[in-house]
Chain A
Amino acid sequence: MLEFLLRIFGRDTTASKKVAKERLRLVLVHDRAGVSPHLLEALKNDLISVISEYLDIDTQGLEVTLSHENDSVALVANIPILRVKRTFKTGAETSVKA
């Protein structure tokens, strides 16, 4: 009953329009950044192949997501390292001892 009265008088802070607006704002940040799940997946695979040249990483535990902070978006990658490689290739294919 109290909730009913609060709603009539417009004091309900959890009115569903607020939820709708917030969800919309977040989904549009994603949409406008042009980042699709497909793109994130491709990015993740490329990250794995590049990083694997330097580090042994846990490809299963790897997470790439977008995080929303206020009105900006950040790319957040969480990459568990299993082992640092002793030798790694540089672009010119010369082997370097670490």
Chain B
Amino acid sequence: MGEVIVITSGKGGVGKTTTTANLGTGLASLGKKVVLVDTDIGLRNLDVVMGLENRIVYDLLDVVEGRCRLKQALIKDKRLENLYLLPANQTRDKTAVSRQQMVDLMAQLREEYEFVLIDCPAGIEMGFKNAIAGAEKALVVTTPEVAAVRDADRIIGLLEAAEMEAPRLIINRLRPDMVRKGDMMDIEDMLEILAIDLIGVVPEDEYIVISTNRGEPAVLDKHSRAGQAYRNIARRLTGEEVPFLNWDAGNGIMARLRRLIGLG
């Protein structure tokens, strides 16, 4: 019996899809059997981030409405044997799928996969409610900005109300240089405000843009800093204790000076 984990945020554009693609690919590279489910109905993206957009035949709605078998709709990843994607439907809207259909679908998927990762749409409406319906765990993604953290707080409240297991936080697009200058909230600030456990911090990394252009998740690239962060989170999801990367390479005056003259 696998784990069903929803990746959610409240605010749009903070990195849910990027996170789902990278954690799924990361878990699969660790040898886990993984399926990614795109529930962003009408606005599917996960296929593109994974570079699988040309292989789609059937989608989630075809499965729940019985036009195809579940197996037929699952797209096998290009690179990894044990990684699959169930794409969202682009036609019709979020009301096309019901809560119960989602619960049944996840129950079916977890029979066969060790990890079912759900890419949740932005917002707190029906799409969100459907996406969390069949999940037992949640990861909340935020960026270090007031609006994103505020929405994360709202989502954490809603997850609690839905009696979900305590969610864990992913801070995305952190810029250590700005944090050092005091111009970006730091990890402690956000954890204190949200009162939630951290599962990982992903730095701002232009490699994310490059890898998204190519349709190859950054987690596969050894040189990407965001990729490294996602590899660590994937390992933490398997229950391994992985020390947190040290984003703040010293704050002493010497460290600051070294950075200033480009030695840091």
Contact = CB atoms under 8 A, between A and B. Distances in A.
Interface stretch (A15-23, A41-49, A56-64, A87-95): A15-23
Interface of B is mostly: helix
Contacts of B182: 7, 10, 12, 15-18
A8 B256 CA distance: 8
Interface in A24-51: 24-25, 27-28, 31-32
Contacts of A15: 181-183
Interface string B138-176: 000000011001100110010000000000000000000
Contacts of A28: 150, 153, 193
Given A24-B149, A27-B150, A10 B181 contact: yes
Question: Interface range on chain A: under 10, 10 to 19, 20 to 34, or 35 or more?
Answer: 10 to 19
Nearest to A18: B182
Interface residues of B, number: 21
A-side interface mostly: helix
B181 A20 contact: no
Given A7-B181, A24-B149, A32 B193 contact: no
A16 B183 CA distance: 5
20 contacts: A7-B181, A7-B182, A8-B260, A10-B180, A10-B182, A12-B182, A15-B183, A16-B182, A16-B184, A17-B182, A18-B182, A20-B185, A21-B189, A21-B193, A24-B149, A24-B185, A27-B146, A28-B150, A31-B150, A32-B153
Interface of B: 145-146, 149-150, 153-154, 157, 179-186, 189, 193, 251, 253, 256, 260
